[in-house]
Amino acid sequence: MEGVDYLADERNKAEFDVDEMKIVWAGSRHSFDVSDRISKLVANDPGFSKEGRTILPRKELFKNTLRKAAYAWKRISDLRLSAIKGQGTDEQQKKWLPLARKMQIIGCYAQTELGHGSNVQGLETTATFDPQTDEFVIHSPTLTSSKWWPGGLGKVSTHAVLYARLITDGKDYGVNGFIVQLRSLEDHKPLPGVTVGDIGMKFGNVAYNTMDNGVLTFDHVRIPRDQMLMRVSQVTKEGKYVQSDIPRQLLYGTMVYMRQTIVADASIAMSRAVCIATRYSAVRRQFGSQNGGQETQVIDYKTQQNRLFPLLASAYALRFVGEWLKWLYTDVTQRLQANEFSTLHEVHACTAGLKSLTTTATADGIEECRKLCGGHGYLCSSGLPELFAVYAPACTYEGDNVVLQLQVARFLMKTVSQLGSGKKPVGTITYMGRIEHLMQCRSYVKQAKDWLKPSAILEAFEARAARMAVACAQNLSKFDNPDEGFAELAADLVEAAIAHCQLIVVSKFIEKLQQNIAGKGVKQQLEVLCGVYSLFLLHKHQGDFLGTGYITSKQASLAKEQLRALYSQLRLNAVSLVDAFNYTDHYLDSILGRYDGNVYPKLYEAAWKDPLNESDVADGFHEYIRPIIKQQLQTARLISGFLSALEEDCRTTVWTYQKDVEDGALDSFQPDVQLKKKKKISFIRKRKDVFGPGSAAASATVLAFGSLFTALYKGSESHIDIHKAPNDPIIQSLIKKIEFLPFVPEIINAGKKFALQTIKGPFLCAQLRLLDGQFKNHQKAHFLGLKQKEEDDLVQETAKEVTDAGHGIIKLGSISQSSAGINNLHHPQLLTDVLLYIEEVVCSCASLGFVGTAESTFAESIELMRKHDICSG
């Protein structure tokens, strides 16, 4: 098995202690031991099997999720618990938290509405206090006030922390949280006045379709007053709104917790994708073989490295900034408990920006990893499509990423405006305290290796962030209306916010390297990863660094040179670096990312497990496809001569029929040798004279087929007088139904008036008359001879109507479009050709049963005739 050998060889190249790197990734020895033990237990437990998930119907998929509900419900409840702990009074926490922890109730977080997401203050659901009953009346006044998206809401949750507009004594006090029961604890049915359900299938095959994201509306549902979360504000029995002594800033704790969790999840999702792409890139070989040798591993191509290795470095960078955010959450919690709020604005901006930056980078990174795996990456069995579908919503929930960066930008603009006030920047904006130096300094890099110095990297990112923020502030000052200026410069402000957030990630990576890191070669590999992450960002955004004047074009080139050198160092250790994530095959759920590298046999094996392969012939084939094939084969045999080259012996292509056959079935085209056995052979003429370029019939092809195949008429026994046709309701009905097919550009371009008045009426009458006559003759098992048809007054009149219509026939380049040219078409021989052509077309279509069928394969024959110059149309 090729893949197994490849990955074993890759692991032998490692220049560091992989087990020690696993501990660095986990955060501590204890964290590693716990996660390793749990992941192995889950992988070996049949109850957590992922077999066949991607082919389950939604109902079965959701039922399977309920089977594993202990973990899923814990995650749902955590959201609700954090809201109650952050906003509920001590009494409310004592009542509700034990119920949630013991799973006696199942909660969800119901904030987002159909009409409002990021704009929380725009929420429309109302909670109106009724002092007579000491209750709040929860109501959904509009369609857009429907709660929409909360996870766990649709089918599982019994309660919700609901966010609604608090209205008392006729005054709206804005959005507040309420605990609302949604379903009966006896039979789990929705309570009166509550309408709740699932919002339907989401992006991806599995992904969030395992979650019952819900829709929820209320029709004047009453809840007790004490189910309003009252830690920050209360409503008395009399309906008076009272602000508590507890600062509203305490709510920031919940926000920081949520966002640090999202950033931590970003590193996990990114690392999963990178693990799959890295292992598969080492297994896959393409091109480059010489003298019959092995092809080149895809991971050895510089283009693959330039796309893959920055993502590998990003996984580690996001991991370390996530660790720092956990510390930040603990720090903020302690400060809040001590009523110390000096860092809250900075923390809010920092967490908002990092949530936006990391989720955007991860979603983009997962998709890039899918592309790095080529076509196989598109398979569900690669694990990447589902991973992307699961992660993509992170760019939207808990704050749209662009909106969050605009919040960061507002904070930066406020910081810049206060720089001269003596207020010292703190936390992640400490660098702004050195604004004068950062606005004037220049990079000291003189050779490529200078970019490996942390001081060179850090100052470059600080100078870039500071200068972009100051530039935005200066441009904003030019507007009389700050809000108007902010809206106008929004794109620039977002870029400045991103620069600030990237600085945070780079600085936290560098801080990680300053710690005591154990293990052979571990720190050295982290330094390489830090260099790749930083220099790739510098190269990607070199326009910012050059535009702000901090670096020169020469220094930018040196950065790119050093980045390439780091790729070479990273190449030897890439597979081992993703091994350090310590993901089991069960967790990765990817054939391409298998630890043993046994990719191709497992892909082949998985393909045959698909339900579509349970039978050799697919359901529906005999019902829908087989009739078409059968029809096409029959048609192909009958028109084979019709589509032959002009040089063929004309006598091999003549119409015959069998004598004494009552149904008058026509034979297929017959070779000349077989004609001797036939009787009553129809009129024979050299086909090149009838169908060849320059003939009237060639030009008539467009008209005949364009009209014939769309007439909803077959074998009528009724006599239609061509002179009375315009007033005949059947004819009028057929005229309305005629379509001019797209393969007939001449008819399409004829113009509406010309098409209706000149083409449809006369020729429809002609085809109906000939068809009707032909069927009558056919049923009597004989043909009218061509001489008889030429002498038939009605046929003659019909033919003249056809030729007088002018379309198609006058299109022929060799025939004048003047009235004289049209009169010449009445020449007996030319008229004979037209009649013969139409007769054969009508006859053949009638015998094949295609008259009136828009899907007729004769449409294809026209294109083939044109291709081989059999017809000049």
DSSP assignment of 375-413: GGGGSGGGSHHHHHHHHGGGGTTTS-HHHHHHHHHHHHH
CA angle 261, 264, 270 (to 5 degrees): 135
pLDDT on residue 334: 86
Q: Does domain 2-44+255-588 have CATH number 3.40.190.10?
A: no
Distance CA 314, CA 364 (A): 12
Measured in whole angstroms, how far is the alpha carbon of residue 585 from the centre of its chain?
Answer: 26
Domain boundaries, the chain: 2-44+255-588, 62-246, 625-867
Distances (CA, A) of 847 to 668, 715, 861: 10, 11, 16
The two tokens of residue 798 are 């019909």
Distances (CA, A) of 461 to 3, 116, 174, 504, 558: 41, 36, 41, 9, 16
pLDDT on residue 701: 41
pLDDT on residue 294: 86
pLDDT on residue 536: 98
CATH architecture of 62-246: Beta Barrel (2.40)
The two tokens of residue 838 are 């139409």
pLDDT on residue 83: 79
pLDDT on residue 442: 97
Instruction: Render the burial of 833-848: b for 16+ CB within 10 Å, e for the rest.
Output: bbbbbbbbbbbbbbbb
Distances (CA, A) of 822 to 466, 809, 814: 83, 9, 12
pTM score of the predicted model: 0.71
pLDDT on residue 783: 37
Q: Give the active site residue among 323, 398, 801, 839.
A: 398
The two tokens of residue 85 are 């702990």
pLDDT on residue 201: 80
Q: Is 804 exposed, middle or buried (0-12, 13-18, 19+ CB in 10 A)?
A: middle
Distance CA 429, CA 421 (A): 15
Distance CA 163, CA 180 (A): 10
Helical (H) or strand (E) element with 538: helix 522-540
Phi and psi dihedrals of 709, rounded to 5? -75, -5
Specify the 3-state DSSP secondary structure of 703.
helix
Each as own residue / partner, the long-range contacts of residues 323-330 (CB below 8 Å, 24 or more positions apart, any chain) are 323/27, 323/512, 324/508, 324/511, 325/256, 325/259, 325/260, 325/263, 325/264, 325/351, 325/354, 326/260, 326/264, 328/256, 328/260, 329/253, 329/256, 329/257, 329/260
Q: Is 718 exposed, middle or buried (0-12, 13-18, 19+ CB in 10 A)?
A: exposed
pLDDT on residue 627: 80
Amino acid (one-letter) located at 678: K
Distance CA 492, CA 626 (A): 60
| Ranges in the chain, pLDDT < 50 | 72-79, 637-723, 734-735, 737-786, 789, 805-873
pLDDT on residue 152: 86
Q: What is the DSSP letter of 480?
A: S
Let me know: does 326 contact 315? Beta carbons within 8 Å: no
pLDDT on residue 739: 37
Closest CA to 715 of 676, 773, 789: 773
Distance CA 283, CA 601 (A): 13
The reply to whether 398 belongs to the active site is yes
